[in-house]
Copies of this chain bind each other. A is one copy, B any other.
C-alpha cells in the first residue's frame, strides 16, 4: 500500500477559468470550423441581447479576416448600449460574471461564460489580447482585455477614455484566433448567421468574409419584438432549497406570508390563506430568516396541493407565426408550409416555455436538396452542434412520420424548424448546443411537430387525391368521343356534339382538382396528444 501522504500532496484547488481552459471542448472549442462558429455565436448572442435589452433595433456587423493558416481575426460590432468602464473587464474577461446568470427572463445568454471563453481562446491560441471599444453614454472607452486564468480575474490594458464625440452607442469586440477555419459549411459562420437572421427578422446582420465579400441579411421588420417580462419563480418551480435561499437573501418582508407573496409569482393573499389551511404546522407570521428546511419542505409540498394559475405568458415571446412564414417563404419558398402557434407550457413544475414548430415541404426545399433536416433554435439562437443529445432532435425523430404520409422522414424534402422559448433553457452543456430531454419538453415538442405534420399531411393527401382525380379525368377524357357516341345511340339522340360538350363539362366539374363530392378524410384524429405520454414511458434518453 502506497503512503497516503504522497497521494494528497497532489491536492490542488482550481479556478473555473482553469477548468474550462483544460476542457475547452465543453465550451464548443473542438474542431476548427466549430471553434470559429462558437466565437461568432457567443459574440452575436450577446450583441442581440444587449440591443434588445436597451430597446434598440439591432444592427450587427461581423468581419472575418484570414491572417495565416488556421489563423483569423474576428470583429463583431453592435449598436447596443455599450458597457461602462467599471464592468468592461468582468463582462468580457471573467467567467461566471455578468447580468444574466441569476435572472428569470427570456434571453440568449444565461451563463456568464460565453464571451469570456472567447477571450480565453484568443489568449490561449495567439497570446493577443482581445480589443474592445465601448461607446457608453458620453464616453468612448478603448482597451485590451487581459485575463488571469489562475484567479479568473480580468484586467484592462492600454485603456483610453475619451469623450463620445461621435455620439455613438455600442460595443466593438475584436480578437485574433488560431486553430480556427472559415468554411461555408452547414456548421460554419455563414449558415449560423443565416439562421440567426431567419429567427431574428428585426436584426440587420452583415458578414464580411475573408475573401472580402460582404453579405447583408437585411432587416425584415422595423421594430424589436415585445420585450419579454422578467418574472418571479412560479411556486411549482421552486424546491425547498430555492425557497430557503430566497428567504435568506431578502430583508424586505418580516413575515413568511408577505415574503411568499413578494418572492413568487401567482402567490396572492388568498393563496397564502389556502396554504395556511394546508400546512397547518408552519407559522406563516414568523420571520422568513427563521424558516427551517423542514418548514420550507412542507410549504413546497403544500404548493403542490393548491390550484395555481399558469405562469405569466408575457415572459415568453416567440418569433411568431407570421414572421416564421415570411422568413421561410423568403429563404426556401417551399411547396407547403405549416407553422404551429401553441400556448406556453411549464416544465419542472413551474418553468414556463413555449415551442414553435414549422414544417416546410417540397418546392424550394427539394430544389435545395434538403432532406429531413431539423433546424433547432433556443430563444432564437441557432443550435448547429450536438444534435444527437438534444430534446428538439430526439422528440422530432420520435414522431411516427408514417402517419403523416412521410414514412422516410430522412429521405423526404422536408425542413422542420423548432424554436424552444423559455426564461431558462436547460442546456446539456456549457457550450449551449443541446436542450436536456426533460419529459414535459419532449412531449410538447412532439405535440407541436405533430400539429404541423397534420397540416402538411392534409396537403399531401389532398395532392395525392388530386393526382388520382386528374388521372381518372384523363382516362375518361380519352374515351369521351366513344362515350358521346354511345350515349347518343343509347338515348337515340341526334346531336352528338352537344352530348359530347355536356359530357366534357360534367367531367371537368367532377374530376377537376378539389372536385366536390370528394370530401377529404383525415386519417389522424385531431386530438391524439393525450397519447404521447403513454407512448414514451422511459424518461431517460
Give the CA-CA distance A109 to B540 in the complex, in Å: 24
> A436 near B30 (CB under 8 angstroms)?
yes
Tell me, in angstroms, the Cα distance from A46 to B431 when the chains sit together.
Answer: 26
0/1 string, A117-137, CB within 8 A of B gives 1: 000000111010000000011
Q: Are A23 and B54 in contact (CB under 8 A)?
A: no
Find out whether the CB atom of B54 lies under 8 angstroms from the CB atom of A4: yes
**What chain B residues lie within 8 Å of A426 (beta carbons)?**
23, 25, 30
In the complex, the answer to whether A12 meets B98 with C-beta atoms within 8 Å is yes
Q: Is A297 an interface residue (CB 8 A)?
A: yes
A210 interface residue (CB < 8 Å to B): no
Q: State whether B386 touches A541 (Cβ < 8 A).
A: yes
Q: Does A235 contact B (CB under 8 A)?
A: no
Find residues 407-450 in chain A having any chain B CB closer than 8 Å to their own CB. Answer: 426-431, 434, 436-439
Residue of B nearest to A29 (CB): B436
Judged by a CB distance under 8 angstroms, whether A239 is at the interface is yes
Q: List residues of chain B with CB within 8 A of the CB of A2.
A: 53-55, 81
A378 smallest CB distance to B (angstroms): 14
Contact flags A5-23 to B (C-beta < 8 A → 1, else 0): 1011011111110110011
Count of chain A residues near B, Cβ 8 A: 86
Instruction: Indicate which residue in B8, B22, B127 contacts A293 across the interface (CB closer than 8 Å).
Output: B127
Chain B CB within 10 Å — which of A4, A34, A81, A437 has the most?
A4
CA gap between A87 and B7 in the complex, in Å:
11
Which residues, 188 to 239 on A, are CB-close (under 8 Å) to B?
A: 239
A158 within 8 A of B: no
Q: How far is the CA of A26 from the CA of B435 in the complex (A)?
A: 10
16 contacts between A and B (CB under 8 A): A7-B53, A8-B83, A8-B84, A8-B86, A12-B101, A19-B101, A25-B427, A26-B429, A32-B539, A33-B539, A34-B541, A187-B540, A386-B388, A387-B389, A388-B389, A388-B541
Residues of B within 8 A of A436 (CB): 25, 30
CB of A332 within 8 A of chain B? Answer: no
- Alpha-carbon distance between A19 and B241 when the two chains are bound, in angstroms: 15
Interface residues of A in 28-60 (CB under 8 A from B): 30-34, 53-56
CA distance A185 to B539 in the complex (A): 11
In the bound complex, what is the Cα–Cα distance between A19 and B436 (angstroms)? 16
Q: Which of chain B's residues have a CB closer than 8 A to the CB of A4?
A: 54, 81-82, 84, 136-137
Residues of chain B lying within 8 A (CB to CB) of residue A23: 111, 426-427, 430
Tell me whether A81 and B7 are in contact in the complex, defined as CB-CB below 8 angstroms, given that A30-B437, A169-B1 are known contacts. Answer: yes
Listed residue (A23, A96, A124) with the most chain B CB atoms within 10 angstroms of its CB: A23
Which B-chain residue is minimally distant from A125 (CB atoms)?
B239
Contacts of A270 in B (CB 8 A): none
B427–A239 CB distance below 8 A: no
The minimal Cβ–Cβ distance linking A188 to chain B, given in whole angstroms, is 9
- Asked if A14 meets B83 with Cβ closer than 8 Å, knowing A389-B434, A541-B386, the reply is no
CA distance A30 to B391 in the complex (A): 12
A110 to chain B, nearest CB (A): 9
**A437 contacts across to B, CB distance below 8 A:** 30-31
Asked if A14 and B540 sit within 8 Å, CB to CB, the answer is no
Q: Does A286 contact B (CB under 8 A)?
A: no
- In the complex, chain B residues whose CB is within 8 Å of the CB of A541: 31, 34, 385-386, 388
CA distance A15 to B94 in the complex (A): 12
Q: How far is the CA of A386 from the CA of B389 in the complex (A)?
A: 6
Residues of B within 8 A of A55 (CB): 1-2
Q: Is A538 an interface residue (CB 8 A)?
A: yes
Which of chain B's residues have a CB closer than 8 A to the CB of A12?
A: 97-99, 101-102
